[in-house]
Amino acid sequence: AQSDVPAHEGPVIDGWLDTWTYQYPLDEDSAAFMAERIGSIPRLLENARENLTGNGRDLWVSGARSIKQQSRDLAALGEQVAGTSSDLDAAIVEAGQATNEFAVWIEREAENRSGLSGVGSENYTWYLKNVHLVPYTWEQEETILLRELARAHASLRLEENRNRGLAVLSRIDNVADYDRNFNEAVDDMITFLEEEEIFTMADYMDPALRARIGSFSPADGLRGFFSEIDYRDPLTMRTHGVHWIDLARMEHEPHESPMRRVPALSNIYDNRSEGLATGFEEMMMHAGLFDDRPRARELIWILLAQRAARGLGGLRQHANVYTLQEAAEFASEWTPRGFLPADGATIQGEEHFYLTQPGYGTSYIIGKLEIEKLMAERAIQLGNEFTVKRFFNEFLETGVIPVSLVRWQLTGKKDAILDSALDVISP
């Protein structure tokens, strides 16, 4: 499925195949290209048996889970395109067999791996500052996330006390209510953005949000953290859907700079992209979006607590303070209402992702705070000329680039981190 950020979340191998970008049934050229790409998987995995020499145990154990998911994805694709092309059918079967064999090999090798998987706090800090252009150290990020975690929990308890006489939110339990409530949530979101003058609206924004409504899925138990939020009040996650407005803007209003028209390399857009989407949840709450939905305000604080808790898990993995399982257990413990079981696919997958992509797990909170700081700084700078609409228009028009670069463009103030990063790459 398409990511809600400009590129893949986390590292991917060269020669990847985004199956969601194709029209089905496949035309002849697309089927041939797909067969060629998928046909390279067996050889790639064979080479990997020689190239994978690291000793990080958590990376090996979690890697096996990812490879098994690839097997399931190949099987699903095979069913979808069956009969389109004999070459493609054969390539998918062979790739699936190779993937299954590789998963067995990974699991066997994992038994002999006992090393640490994190990059270490010093390397983490270097990477933050010199690649992602984030002006913090590992220690500073931990302090910030701990503060946000406590704030989210305290705010939730106060909101719960305020709402103690109100009925609790129940989960949507049928197709008709799902379709109606989710579509109404998009209506409410678009109307609010326009009437409250948050930023200038464009015709592509409503379709960008509405296309991501999804469909009802029955469940006896937990559906997964974000679905537990969504199925109680769909408007909450429509705020995070500003992601899709970002991507639609890149498509319909491409930036004049060719470098900003395309995703920045190495996911260095993370603090800007994830920070805005996460920040927008609480910002829109304070702006009044949930004034008549008091129980939804509780969900906003739960969302913030989960981002802080899982971010701390990922952060401490890289300092080799936590194993992946310990990170998942910490995130589960500190996510309210039991919405995030430690053994669930959501947090297990997230903590594995944050282990493979240093800095991403904290970017939701760190980026949010950097945007809030920039708003405050811009308000002081502009005085009576400041408006929320002006700020967000300027902010969005800079493109999806690190917030430190956005700040430089909007305020004219260059963060010292940018000079030090340039020193690293200068000959």
Is residue 242 classed exposed, middle or buried when 0-12, 13-18 and 19+ CB atoms within 10 A define those classes?
buried
DSSP state of 200: -
Spell out the alpha helix ranges (H) of 111-240: 121-130, 138-162, 175-195, 205-210, 225-230, 235-240
Contact (CB, 8 A) for 248 and 211: no
- Residue-range domain boundaries for the chain: 19-110, 123-419
Collect all residues with Cβ–Cβ distance below 8 Å to 114 and sequence separation of at least 6.
55, 57
C-alpha closest to that of 24 among 75, 83, 74, 87: 83
Residues comprising the chain, all counted: 427
DSSP secondary structure of 48-87? HHHH----BHHHHHHHHHHHHHHHHHHHHHHHHHTTS-HH
Output the DSSP codes for 355-421: HHSTTHHHHHHHHHHHHHHHHHHHHHHHGGG--HHHHHHHHHHT-S--HHHHHHHHHSPPPHHHHHH
Query: Alpha-carbon distance 268 to 131, whole Å?
Result: 7
Residue 119: how many other CB atoms lie within 10 Å: 20
Distance CA 146, CA 138 (A): 12
Measured CA to CA, the distance from residue 290 to residue 382 in angstroms comes to 28
Supply 309's token pair: 């808790």
Task: Please state the pTM of the whole predicted model.
Answer: 0.95
- Residue whose entry in the numeric block shows the structure tokens 């145990």: 57
Look at the block and give the residue holding tokens 């000959």: 427
- Is the CB of residue 287 less than 8 Å from the CB of residue 196? yes
The answer to whether the beta carbons of residues 302 and 236 sit under 8 Å apart is: no
Cα separation, 174 vs 371, whole angstroms: 38
Q: pLDDT truncated to tens, each residue of the chain (427 aa)?
A: 789 898 888 788 888 899 999 999 999 999 999 999 999 999 999 999 999 999 999 999 999 999 999 999 999 999 999 999 999 999 999 999 999 999 999 999 999 999 999 999 999 999 999 999 999 999 999 999 999 999 999 999 999 999 999 999 999 999 999 999 999 999 999 999 999 999 999 999 999 999 999 999 999 899 999 999 999 999 999 999 999 999 999 999 999 999 999 999 889 999 999 999 999 999 999 999 999 999 999 999 999 999 999 999 999 999 999 999 999 999 999 999 999 999 999 999 999 999 999 999 999 999 999 999 999 999 999 999 999 999 999 999 999 999 999 999 999 999 998 987 767 665 5
Distance CA 351, CA 323 (A): 10
d(CA 207, CA 189): 12
Q: For 234-269, how does the pLDDT look when each residue is reduced to its tens digit (9 = 90+)?
A: 999 999 999 999 999 999 999 999 999 999 988 999
Q: In 25-52, which positions are buried (b, 16+ CB within 10 angstroms) versus exposed (e)?
A: ebeeebbeebbeebbebbeebeeeeeee
**How far is it, in rounded angstroms, from Cα 69 to Cα 74?**
9
Residue 218: Cβ-neighbour burial (10 angstroms; 0-12, 13-18, 19+): exposed
